[in-house]
């Protein structure tokens, strides 16, 4: 493909055109690319790492779908659980769409050859998972379709093999740098850099799809891979796209203490128990019905509360024990083989014989690039004329806003986003386990179908002309690094960003902490803009990659802290202890304000401005689930 080095003339560079360019080769990106390649479209997938090494590979526990193979189940129960799990910030139309589609997309994966575990009758094995229930919260239900504790691994290999068969074109170890938009705001592709040669290039497309994953590396302690630096979020923010609900970050209850490596919720699905220093299974106090299988935000807060009240384990009383010894070695080696290996490698613990130390660890972002159920990136139309307000009246079950007829879902032509980098919003303020992999395949398929229609009906063989300044921003960024003689070390600046976010936006937050975090993250901007690249080499220069990633991390950090400081309530994963009580939510966790804060946050990078938009309270075909206190 035509490519250039940063010092060359870039006014008339060669570039290659595609029907669709997908940035990201994980579960959602490859599900979409498979859909497109099947339809005969010319597809390019740009991926930072080899596709089967994408972070989806770390997903362990399962894909949520109401197959009912182990116990009676249906999508209505799954819908209810997801709305409740989202703490009523999820859009109920999108949640209905996802949970209704779930069984079909799982069967499609099965037909592609995904090696799910099996029951004796040949059906797909399902295990219980946090927050999933039968009969609208009555009891736990097995809903996670599992491939041992390596479900993400199985998913990636299945999708990669399917894409190879269909002829999808992969650009491995390419990093997308900037979004290409014309004066009308339409998206025409991306610029990217080849890690192997250090050369940059233009990927022009009729449709551009971001599937870049999460940004968990904005925290110091994270279960995320080092590649998860919010690249798609950074590119979108710099191109004028707002980021939605970035105050909501999920802390997974069971990260290995001191290592941050994930131990799947499937452990508790198989029967593992969280214990404090007295050996007490304390979740029975916090969630009498679901116990250890309450939603993740609930369990993480409960664990932190035990530690804060002096019932933590170890010499410093700073962790909780996850006990699997009663499951037996045979069950563990059959259902949780990776967890056994992780225990040995990262904690020097044989989980068949002793409990393993765990702490809540950053795992997942609920926010992202705003989209609809077709994967289209959507923006509010026009400008805000007055401060947006939303109000839910629990007596009349009426949700209202002052937005009038303003359209909050105007699609950006040619631009799509799916997976963790997007915000549909099906997860709201807290994601249920298994709904992440489900999100990937449901909306990967949906976006693929919409792109096929968009490209074939509206474009034919035509490509919009690229703006004359197509490479200005990208080349300026590269040249600034290459020409630098002094300045900041990229890794040190990235670590400083992580420290600020970790210390000010944790499991429990305070208004004072968040406001101080905003001050600190804004004050660090001169360091972000003054990165010095000591190594100027072109071939596999990871220092250059790290320097480029810092800008993306910084956008994510600003969005997180500014959005969090503005939300004056507790909801889902956003727990601000200043707001411990409210009439809408007198029970633990405290302080949800449906009368004022049942609305989505939109953060704009250019001026750190916040806007808000309504929650989509009305489902597609069933009655809405009205807000109520979350008890489990």
Read off the pLDDT of residues 296-317 as tens digits, 9 standing for 90 and up.
Answer: 988 999 999 999 999 999 999 9
| 159 against 6, higher pLDDT | 159
Alpha-carbon gap, residue 570 to 591, rounded angstroms: 5
Structure tokens at 82: 């997801």
Quick one: which of 71, 54, 62, 261 has its CA closest to 148? 62
Query: What tokens does 29 get?
Result: 């990106």
With respect to residue 10, please indicate whether it lies within any of the assigned structural domains. no
Q: Which of 43-57, 563-577, 578-592 has the lowest mean pLDDT?
A: 578-592
Are 177 and 238 in contact by the 8 Å Cβ rule? The answer is no
Taking residue 317's Cβ as centre, other Cβ atoms within 10 Å add up to 15
Catalytic one of 296, 509, 567, 593: 296
Residue 311 is among the residues annotated as catalytic for this protein = no
Those residues with Cβ within 8 angstroms of residue 369's Cβ, 6 or more apart along the chain or in another chain: 210, 232, 233, 236, 241, 243, 244, 377, 417, 421, 422, 423
> Could you tell me which residues are annotated as the binding site?
24-29, 47-62, 231, 252, 264, 363, 420, 431, 436-437
> Which of the given ranges, 148-152, 198-202, 209-213, 388-392, has the highest pLDDT on average?
209-213
Q: Which residues 6+ apart lie within 8 Å of 120 measured at CB?
A: none
Least confident of 128-142, 319-333, 464-478, 507-521: 464-478
User: And the tokens for 465?
Assistant: 């002309």
Choose among 45, 147, 39, 74: nearest CA to 445.
39
Domain hosting 339: range is: 253-360
Find the distance separating the first CA and the last CA of the chain, reported in whole Å: 55
Binding site for substrate: which residues? Answer: 252, 264, 363, 431
Asked whether the beta carbons of 76 and 429 are under 8 A apart, the reply is no
Domain membership of residue 282 (yes or no) is yes
- Residue 136 tokens read as 């609208």
Strand-pair partners of 209 = 22, 416
Residue 330 lies in a domain: yes
CA pair distance 544, 472, nearest whole angstrom: 18
Q: Which has the closest alpha carbon to 605: 525, 535, 510, 489?
A: 525
**CATH number reported for the structural domain that contains residue 340 in this entry:** 3.90.700.10
The mean pLDDT of 157-175, rounded to a whole number, is: 97
**Residue 6's pLDDT band (cuts 50, 70, 90):** very low
Question: Beta 376-379 vs 410-417: how paired, if at all?
Answer: antiparallel
Indicate whether 308 belongs to any domain. Answer: yes
Contact 540, 196 (CB under 8 A): yes
Distances (CA, A) of 135 to 22, 142, 432: 39, 13, 17
Paired sense of beta strands 187-194 and 200-210, if any: antiparallel
> Is the per-residue pLDDT at 582 higher than 60?
no
Structural domain total, the chain? 1
Question: Would you place residue 7 in the very low, low, confident or very high pLDDT band (cuts 50, 70, 90)?
Answer: low
The pair of three-digit structure tokens given for residue 67, joined into one six-digit string: 């197959």
Checking if the pLDDT of 8 tops 60, the result is no
Alpha-carbon Rg of the chain, whole angstroms? 23
Q: Residue 581 has what pLDDT?
A: 63
Q: Which range, of 2-6, 64-68, 253-257, averages the lowest pLDDT? A: 2-6
The answer to whether residue 464 is domain-embedded is no
Question: Among all chains, which residue has been given the structure tokens 């806003």?
Answer: 401
319 within some domain: yes
What confidence score (pLDDT) does residue 151 get? 96
Helix (H) or strand (E) holding 94: helix 92-112
The whole-number pLDDT of residue 584 equals 47
* 288 inside domain: yes
């Amino acid at each position: 493909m035509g490519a250039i080095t940063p010092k060359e003339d870039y006014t008339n560079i060669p570039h290659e055109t595609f029907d669709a360019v997908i940035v990201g080769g994980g579960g959602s990106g490859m599900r979409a690319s498979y859909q497109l390649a099947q339809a005969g479209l010319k597809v390019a997938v740009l991926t930072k790492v080899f596709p089967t090494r994408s972070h989806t590979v770390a997903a362990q526990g399962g894909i949520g779908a109401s197959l009912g193979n182990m116990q009676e189940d249906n999508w209505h129960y799954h819908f209810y659980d997801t709305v409740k799990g989202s703490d009523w910030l999820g859009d109920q139309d999108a949640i209905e769409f996802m949970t209704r589609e779930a069984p079909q997309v799982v069967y499609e994966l099965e037909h592609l050859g995904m090696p799910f575990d099996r029951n004796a009758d040949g059906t797909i094995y399902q295990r219980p998972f946090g927050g999933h229930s039968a009969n609208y919260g009555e009891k736990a239900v097995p809903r996670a379709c599992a491939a041992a504790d390596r479900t993400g691994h199985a998913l990636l290999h299945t999708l990669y093999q399917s894409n190879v068969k269909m002829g999808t074109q992969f650009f491995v170890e390419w990093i997308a740098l900037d979004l290409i938009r014309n004066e009308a705001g339409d998206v025409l592709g991306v610029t990217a850099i080849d890690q192997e040669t250090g050369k940059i290039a233009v990927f022009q497309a009729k449709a551009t799809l971001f599937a870049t994953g999460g940004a968990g590396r904005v925290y110091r302690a994270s279960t995320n891979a080092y590649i998860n630096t919010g690249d798609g979020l950074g590119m979108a923010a710099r191109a004028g796209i707002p980021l939605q609900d970035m105050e909501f970050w999920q802390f997974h209850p069971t990260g290995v203490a001191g290592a941050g490596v994930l131990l799947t919720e499937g452990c508790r699905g198989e029967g593992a128990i969280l214990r404090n220093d007295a050996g007490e299974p304390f979740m029975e106090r916090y969630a009498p019905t679901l116990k250890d299988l309450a939603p993740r935000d609930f369990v993480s807060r409960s664990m932190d509360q035990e530690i804060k009240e002096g019932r933590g384990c170890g010499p410093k009383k700073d962790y909780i024990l996850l006990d699997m010894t009663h499951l037996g070695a045979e069950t563990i080696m059959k259902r949780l083989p990776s967890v056994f290996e992780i225990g040995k490698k990262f904690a020097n613990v044989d989980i068949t014989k002793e409990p393993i130390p765990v702490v809540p660890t950053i795992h997942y972002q609920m926010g992202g690039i705003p989209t609809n159920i077709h994967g289209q990136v959507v923006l509010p139309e026009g400008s805000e004329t007055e401060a947006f307000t939303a109000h839910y009246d629990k007596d009349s079950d009426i949700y209202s806003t002052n937005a009038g007829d303003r359209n909050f879902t105007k699609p950006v032509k040619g631009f799509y986003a799916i997976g963790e980098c997007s915000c549909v919003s099906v997860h709201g303020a807290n994601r249920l386990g298994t709904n992440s992999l489900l999100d990937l395949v449901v909306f990967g398929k949906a976006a693929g179908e919409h792109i096929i229609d968009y490209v074939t009906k509206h474009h034919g063989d035509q490509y919009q002309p690229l703006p004359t300044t197509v490479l200005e921003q990208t080349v300026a960024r590269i040249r600034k690094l290459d020409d630098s003689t002094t300045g900041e070390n990229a890794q040190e600046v990235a670590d400083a960003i992580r420290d600020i976010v970790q210390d000010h936006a944790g499991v429990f937050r305070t208004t004072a902490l968040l406001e101080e975090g905003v001050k600190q993250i804004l004050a660090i901007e001169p360091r972000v803009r003054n990165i010095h690249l000591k190594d100027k080499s072109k071939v596999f220069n990871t220092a250059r990659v790290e320097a480029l990633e810092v800008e993306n991390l910084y956008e994510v950090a600003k969005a997180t802290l500014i959005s969090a400081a503005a939300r004056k309530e507790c909801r889902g994963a956003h727990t601000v202890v200043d707001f411990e009580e409210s009439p809408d939510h007198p029970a633990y966790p405290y302080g949800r304000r449906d009368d004022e804060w049942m609305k989505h946050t939109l953060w704009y990078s250019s001026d750190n401005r916040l806007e808000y938009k309504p929650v989509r309270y009305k489902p597609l075909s069933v009655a809405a689930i009205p807000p109520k206190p979350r008890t489990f």
